[in-house]
Amino acid sequence: MNQLVREWDRPYGMPPLDALRDEEFAPAFDEGLTEARANIDAIADNPEPPSFANTIEAMERAEKTLDRVCAVFFNLASAHTNDTIEALQRELSPRLSAHGSATMMNAKLFARVDALMQGRAGLELTPEQGRVLELYHRMFVRAGARLEGADRGRLAAVLERLATLSTRFSQNVRADEKSWTMPLASGDLDSLPPFLVDALAQAAADRGLPGHVVTLSRSLIVPFLQFSARRDLREKAFRAWVARGANGGETDNRAVAAEILSLRAERAKLLGYDTFADYKLAPEMAKTPASVRDLLMAVWAPARARAEADAVRLAELMRAEGVNDALAPWDWRRYAAIRQRVEHALDEAEVKPYLQLDAMIAAAFDVAGRLFGLAFRPIDAALHHPDARAWEVTRDGRHVGVFIGDYFARPSKKSGAWCSSFRSQSRLDGDETPIAINVCNFAKAPAGQPTLLTFDDARTLFHEMGHALHVLMSDVTYPFVSGTSVARDFVELPSQLYEHWLEAPEVLAAHARHAETGEPMPPELLSRLIAARNFDQGFATVEYVASAVVDLDLHSGPAPADPMAAQAATLDRLGMPEAIVMRHATPHFDHIFAGDGYSAGYYSYMWSEVMDADAFAAFRETGDLFDPTVAASLAENILSKGGSRDAAQLYKAFRGRLPGVDALIEQRGLAGNRE
C-alpha cells in the first residue's frame, strides 16, 4: 500500500520521510483526489437536511488523505525538491485548482452551507462552530459559488491558469538562484572575515566546485556585500541578485507576472470587486486598500528622511576610501557596516562568534519554556534531509507536538525562511497533535566547525519559531481554524513579537557564548549590540515599504501591461532613494506571485508590526519581559485560538484595545524623522 495515503504509524504520527519514493506521489494524489471527490459528492447529494455535522464536519474530513499527501509533497517541493518533484508540481497545480473550483462551485453543496448560514441562529452552535461555519460560507462565496452561467466556467479557468503560472514563477526564481555562482580567486578573499571565507568554501563544495563561490543565497550575498572591498565584484553579485527572474529566456518572469496580474484583475471583476486589492483585503484586518496605504505612507516619510540623511554619511565614508562616485545599491551595505563600526564600535565579525546556531536554537527553546512552559527534547526521527532535526515538544509532561528544524541553504531548497506543518492540531477525531517545521537558509559551516549566525539570521530563527509556536500551541477542535489559519495581516504577529526576546539581555547573556572560548558575550559588547538595534532602519524600512507599495499599486487598478514600467512609476512617485532598491523586485517577488498568499498583502508584516510593538509593550510595562500573567494571556487569547475568532477580537481580548501606528514608529527609531 502507498505509504503516503495510509495512516502514518511511526512514533508521534510522523510521516515516513526517509522511505518515500518520488514515484509514489502521482498515484497518491490520484487516490487522494478520487477519494476527496467521492466524499464531497456524497455530502452534496446527502438526502438528509443539512446539519453542521453532516455538512461542515463532513467537509472537514472529506479531504483527509489528500491533505496528508499535499502536506508531504509541498513541504518537499519547497525544502528539498528535484526535477521529478518539480515536473509533478507543474502537472498538479492546475489539477488541484480544478478540484477546488469543482468543490466551491458545486451548487448543491453550497446550498447546504448557505442554508446553515441563513439558519445559524437556531443551530445552537458553539462559538468555534459558528466561526467555522461563517468562514466556510465566506470561502464558498469568495470562490465563486454564487456565479452563474459562463462566469462560473471562466472563473474556474482563470484559477487553473493562475495555479500554473504561480508554480512557473516560483520555479523560475529557484532556477535562476540555483544556476548562478561567482567564483572567487584567492586575492578576492582578502577583505573577508574567516566565517564568510569558510561559508563560501562550503557553498562551492556543496555544488561540487573547487575553491570559493558566491551564490544567490541571501545568507552569502548580504555578508559579501558588507565585507568585500572589491567594488566590481560587489556590483556583479548585486546585479545578479536583483536580476533573478529577469534574465531573459525560459526563466524570465516578467511576462508571467503580467499575465498573473491580468488574471487576478479579471477574477476580482467576476466576483464583483473593483480591483484585486479590494477583493483580497476584504476579509483581512485592514479591510481596504486605503487603510493599507495610510499605514505605509505614515511610515514612508520618516523612513525616507532617515535613509536620505544616512546616504549622505555613507557617501562621505566612500569618498574617504578614495571612491569618487555616487553611492550605489552595491555600496550601501559595505559602508553601513563601516559606519556601524565607527559610530557604535560594532563589527558583525566581532558579534558573530557569539551567535552559534545551536545556541540560538537553545535560546529560542528557552524563551518558549520561560513564557509558556514548553520543553523540547531531541528525538531520533527519519526526516527528509540529513541536515534536518526534530524535537518532541511537551508542556507539563504532556505531549504537545513535534518541531522540525531545517536550517541550512542548499541547491534543492528555495530561498527565504518559512514555517509550515506536516500535520495541524485538531480535536475533531481524537487529539491530533501538530508537526511543525521551520525552514531557513543559513550558510552552513564546513564539517567540524560550528555554524555562526549574523544577528539578522538569529532574528530570523526567532521569527520562524514564533510561527511554530502558533502551530504548536493551537488548541481548537476544527482543522479549518487551527494554528496559523488566521487573517494574513494577523499571522505575522506571533512571529514578529517573538523576535523581541532575542534582544532580551538575559537571553543573550545566557546563550551568546563564544564559539572557541565558550565565554559569554561581554556585557559591554552586549550593550553596544542592543544600543545599535535600530541602526540602518531607514534603509530597512525603505526597501520593505517600497516593495509593499509596489505590491499594492500593482493590484489596485487595471492590470498593467508592463509590470516593470508600473513598478518604476510607483518608485518614482515615492521618490525612492537612488542607492536603495526594493527588497523584492517584481520578477522575483515570490511572496506575491508564487501563489496568492501575500498578493496585495505584503504590507501585512508592517500591519502586524503595529501590533507586535504594542504587544511587547504589555510585557515591558510590567517590568518583567517574562511576566507570567501577560504570557498566559498571550497564550490563551492569541496563540491557542488560531482563527477561531476574528483577529481584532483576539487582539482586544489580549490587550484591551487595538494599537496605533505610533508604537511602530517609535520601535523602529524613526520618531525623530516625522514631519
SS (H, E, C) 462-519: HHHHHHHHHHHCCCCCCHHHCCCCCCCCCCHHHHHHHHHHHHCHHHHHHHCECCCCCC
Q: Which of 184, 107, 193, 185 is nearest to 143 (CA)?
A: 107
- How many whole angstroms from its chain centre is CA 474? 19
DSSP code for 176? H
Residue type present at position 477: T
Full DSSP string of 406-424: EEE--TTS-SS-EEEEEE-
Decide: helix, strand or coil at residue 159: helix
Rounded CA gap, 314 and 413, in Å?
Answer: 35
Q: Taking a C-beta distance cutoff of 8 angstroms, is the pair 31, 65 a contact?
A: yes
Q: Taking a C-beta distance cutoff of 8 angstroms, is the pair 32, 69 a contact?
A: yes
Buried b or exposed e, range 624-646, using 16+ CB within 10 angstroms = ebbbeebbebbbebbbbbbbbbe
Question: Which grid coordinates belong to 193?
Answer: 572575515
Buried b or exposed e, range 74-102, using 16+ CB within 10 angstroms = bbbbbbbbeeebbebbeebbbebbbbbbe
Residue 472's Cβ-count burial label (10 Å; 0-12, 13-18, 19+) is buried
Q: Which of 128, 392, 464, 492 is catalytic?
A: 464
Rounded CA gap, 285 and 490, in Å?
Answer: 7
Decide: helix, strand or coil at residue 342: helix
Say whether 464 is catalytic: yes
Any residues with CB less than 8 A from the CB of 106 and at least 6 apart, and which?
A: 40, 41, 44
Q: Taking a C-beta distance cutoff of 8 angstroms, is the pair 393, 472 a contact?
A: yes
Question: Which grid coordinates belong to 402?
Answer: 513535534
Rounded CA gap, 279 and 643, in Å?
Answer: 20
Angle at 437 between CA 435 and CA 440, to 5 degrees: 175
Question: Which grid coordinates belong to 493?
Answer: 504577529
Question: Which grid coordinates belong to 171?
Answer: 520555479
Catalytically active residues, by annotation? 464
